[in-house]
Amino acid sequence: MHGANYTEQNVVDFLEKNFMPYAMSVIVSRAIPEIDGFKPSHRKLLYTMFKMGLLAGGRTKSANVVGQTMKLNPHGDSAIYETLVRLTRGNGSLLHPYIDSKGNFGKCYSRDMKFAAPRYTEVKLDRICEEIFKDLDKNAVDFVDNYDGTMKEPTLLPTTFPNVLVNANQGIAVSMASNICSFNLAEVCETTIQYIRDEFVDVDKYLKAPDFSTGGQLIYNEQEIRSIYKTGRGSFKVRAKYRFDKENNCIEVYEIPYTTTSEAIIDAVIDLVKSGKIKEINDIRDETDLKGLKITFDLKRSTDPDALMMKLFKLTPLEDTFSCNFNILVNGRPRVMGIKTILDEWLKFRIECIKRRVKYDIENKSEKLHLLIGLKKILLDIDKAVRIIRNTDQDAEVIPNLMRGFDIDRVQAEFIAEIKLRNLNREYILQRISEVDTLRKEIEDLIDLHGNEKRIKNVIIDELGVIAKKFGTPRRTEIIRDEHVEVATEEIFIEDYNVKLFLTKQNYLKKIPLTSLRTNPEHKLKDDDYIIQEIDATNKAEILLFSNKQTVYKMKVHEIADCKASSLGDYLVNLLGMEDGEDIIYIVATEDYKGHMLFFYENGKAAKIEMESYATKTNRKKLANAYSGLSQLVCMMYLQDDMELAAVSSINKVLVFDTSKINPKAARDSQGVQVLSSKKGSVLSRVMPVEISGLSDLEYYRTKNIPAVGRYLKDEDKLNPKQLALF
Q: Where are the domains of the chain?
A: 38-158, 241-317, 344-471, 494-712
For residue 701, the tally of other CB atoms under 10 A from its CB is 24
Mean pLDDT of 25-44: 83
Query: CA 230, 232, 237, 239: dihedral to nearest 10 degrees?
Result: 110
CATH for the stretch 344-471:
1.10.268.10
From residue 644, how far is each of 244, 591, 665, 698, 721 by CA, in Å? 52, 25, 19, 10, 18
- CA–CA separation, 239 vs 299, rounded Å? 20
- Strand pairing partners for 281? 299
> What is the predicted pLDDT for the residue at 540?
86
Radius of gyration of the chain (CA): 43
Per the DSSP assignment, residues forming a β-bridge with 536 are 500
- Count the helices and strands in the chain (H runs, E runs): 21, 34
- 6-22 per-position pLDDT tens digit: 677 788 877 777 766 76
Start-to-end C-alpha separation, the chain = 82
Collect all residues with Cβ–Cβ distance below 8 Å to 532 and sequence separation of at least 6: 503, 504, 505, 585, 725
**Single-letter residue type at 267:** D
- The answer for residues whose C-beta is within 8 angstroms of residue 181's C-beta and 6 or more apart is 168, 210, 212, 258, 322, 324
Count, residues in the chain: 727
- Taking residues 262-274, what's their average pLDDT? 95
Q: How far apart are CA 371 and CA 373, in angstroms?
A: 5
Q: Is the pLDDT of residue 180 over 80?
A: yes
User: pLDDT, tens digit, for every residue of 185-217?
Assistant: 999 999 999 999 999 999 999 999 999 999 999
Options 3.30.930.10, 2.60.40.3880, 2.120.10.90, 3.20.20.80; which CATH number does 494-712 get? Answer: 2.120.10.90
Arithmetic mean of pLDDT, 226-254: 96
* pTM for this model (two decimals): 0.74
Compute CA distances 660 → 607, 642, 690, whole Å. 12, 6, 15
> Strand runs (DSSP E) across 593-683, as ranges?
596-601, 605-610, 622-623, 633-639, 644-649, 653-658, 664-665, 673-674
Lowest mean pLDDT among 45-54, 470-479, 490-499, 626-635: 490-499
Catalytic residue ranges: 120
What is the mean pLDDT of the segment spanning 60-74?
94
d(CA 15, CA 18): 5
What's residue 617's pLDDT?
Answer: 78
CATH 2.40.70.10 assigned to domain 38-158? The reply is no
Distances (CA, A) of 329 to 29, 171, 175, 505: 10, 12, 15, 73
- Stretch 700-704: mean pLDDT: 86
Domain 241-317 has what CATH class? Answer: alpha beta
Confidence of residue 727 (pLDDT cuts 50, 70, 90): very low
- Kindly report, residue by residue over 166-176, the tens digit of the pLDDT: 998 887 766 67
Sheet holding 542-547, edge to edge: 584-590, 542-547, 552-556, 622-623
| Least confident piece of the model among 126-140, 412-426, 608-622 | 412-426
